[in-house]
Amino acid sequence: MSEQPSIYSVVIGFNLAEDTVESFKSLQQSTYKKMKHIFVDNNSSDDSVQRVLDDVPEASVLETNANTGFARGNNVGFHFANSKDADYVLMINNDTTVDPNMVEELVKIAEASPNNGVIVPKIYYYDHKDVIWSAGCTYDKKFPPMINMNETDSPDDGRFDNIGDLDFATTCCLLIKKEVFQKIGLLNPNCFLFWEDYDFCARVKKAGFKIKFAPKAIMWHKVSKTTQEKKPNPFIWQTRGRSKSIFVREFPEYGLGWFGYPLFAALGFLLNDRRKILVPFLKGWREGKKIELKPIPKFKEDTEDPYDIVRDC
């Protein structure tokens, strides 16, 4: 490339200050130099903001006035990146670390075609460095239809070593082309947590862009530390049910909302001795079917969401 495109990483945080700083430190080691960083703090109760200001002074730090959720919090960062005329946004979780060459590998594939709109790295477990947590996601049309993560239970055996098209991907890390946002808007604000990734990917494909897998782009994930609980968390499972129900409403063509799904889900929870999450999941499912959905925010338009940017440095 004669001139490197500009990239803004967007890292959203809700507590976990130590993880956030570690993630930024790994990004600072990137061989891709035309990259700047944005930290969106979603009303953390710890010292996340001060830690980033002290340890990552080159990052722009934005604070929301409440925990706005994963999608809306990231949208704050996306709006800011757009105001800086970013060519790409690197959306990345704060409980991750990256290989120094990851961003360069992502950009290589993104720049290979104007239709390559979203590029996905190979993501290993942080605590099991050679076991794949995600190599993108596959849509299985067989009954019952579902979206499955491409993963391994043992060390990487090479099965996910080829560049290819993906059906879906997790938003743990995505390199997103500016033109994608301009055409389809930002993340779905109706999803507080979960399924905003599949919603985004479905819109990406509908708009004619490709979701590409970059096997040489490597990173490690501590696997959803903000949602892991020793005991089942009713809020988390109610939110899962709600977000999936919203996805089903908006994308019925994937068949994930077939009439027998609630019974199928209930049976699965019972067989796996997960009775405590059944009621909140079904409650969320019912909520998602009834709530009034907000429109997807546009890339260059303000939203009515209560974002309060109190620091931009």
In-domain check, residue 208: yes
- Please check whether residues 258 and 166 belong to one and the same domain: no
Question: Looking at the domain assignment, is residue 281 inside a domain?
Answer: yes
Please indicate, yes or no, whether residues 206 and 254 belong to a single structural domain of this protein.
no
Distance of CA 111 to the CA centre of its chain: 21
Q: Which two tokens stand for residue 313?
A: 């440095």
- Residue 296 has which token pair? 């997807």
Q: Is residue 13 part of a domain?
A: yes
pTM above 0.85, yes or no: yes
Within-domain flag for 298: no
CA 62 to chain centre: 18
241 and 194 in a common domain: no
Instruction: Please indicate, yes or no, whether residues 116 and 248 belong to a single structural domain of this protein.
Output: no
- Looking at the fold, whether 81 and 149 belong to one and the same domain comes out as yes
CA separation for the pair 109, 116 (Å, rounded): 7
The whole-number pLDDT of residue 3 equals 86
Domain that holds residue 40: 7-221
User: 257 and 206, same structural domain?
Assistant: no
Please indicate, yes or no, if residue 32 is contained in any of the structural domains: yes
Please give the sequence-ordered ranges of beta strands (E in DSSP) within the chain, or none if there are none. 7-13, 35-41, 60-63, 88-93, 96-98, 116-125, 132-134, 137-140, 146-149, 164-165, 173-177, 210-221
Pair (134, 256) in one structural domain = no
Give the separation between CA 287 and CA 53, rounded to whole angstroms: 39
Pairwise CA distance, residues 20 & 52, whole Å? 8
**Residue where one domain finishes, among candidates 164, 194, 221:** 221
Does residue 309 sit within a domain? no
Report the pLDDT value the prediction gives residue 143, as an integer from 0 to 100.
84
First to last CA, the chain: 31
Contact 65, 43 (CB under 8 A): yes
CATH number at residue 32: 3.90.550.60
The tokens for 46 are 């710890």
Within this chain, do residues 25 and 159 fall inside the same structural domain, yes or no?
yes
What pLDDT is attached to residue 267?
A: 74
Based on the domain organization, do 158 and 281 belong to the same domain? no
Do the strands 137-140 and 173-177 form a parallel or antiparallel pair, or are they unpaired? unpaired
H or E element that contains 246: helix 234-250
Q: Is residue 278 domain-shared with residue 256, that is, in the same domain?
A: yes
Is 44 a domain residue?
yes
Please indicate, yes or no, whether residues 111 and 13 belong to a single structural domain of this protein.
Answer: yes
User: Among the three residues 194, 221, 248, which one is the final residue of a domain in this structure?
Assistant: 221
Instruction: Tell me whether residue 29 is in a domain.
Output: yes
Q: Is 135 exposed, middle or buried (0-12, 13-18, 19+ CB in 10 A)?
A: buried
Q: How many domains does the chain have?
A: 2
CB 154 within 8 A of CB 131: yes
What is the per-residue pLDDT for 269? 67
- Residue 15 carries which side chain, given as an amino acid letter? N
Residues pairing with 148 in the sheet: 138
Q: Are residues 46 and 76 in the same domain?
A: yes
pLDDT truncated to tens, each residue of the chain (313 aa)? 458 999 999 999 999 999 999 999 999 999 999 999 999 999 999 999 999 999 999 999 999 988 999 999 999 999 999 989 999 999 999 999 999 999 999 999 999 999 999 999 999 999 999 999 999 999 999 888 899 999 999 999 999 999 999 999 999 999 999 999 999 999 999 999 999 999 999 999 999 999 999 999 999 999 866 555 556 688 998 999 999 999 999 999 999 887 777 777 767 666 665 667 888 988 999 999 999 999 999 986 554 444 554 455 4
61 Cβ contact list (under 8 Å, min separation 6): 38, 39, 41, 49, 52, 53, 311, 312, 313
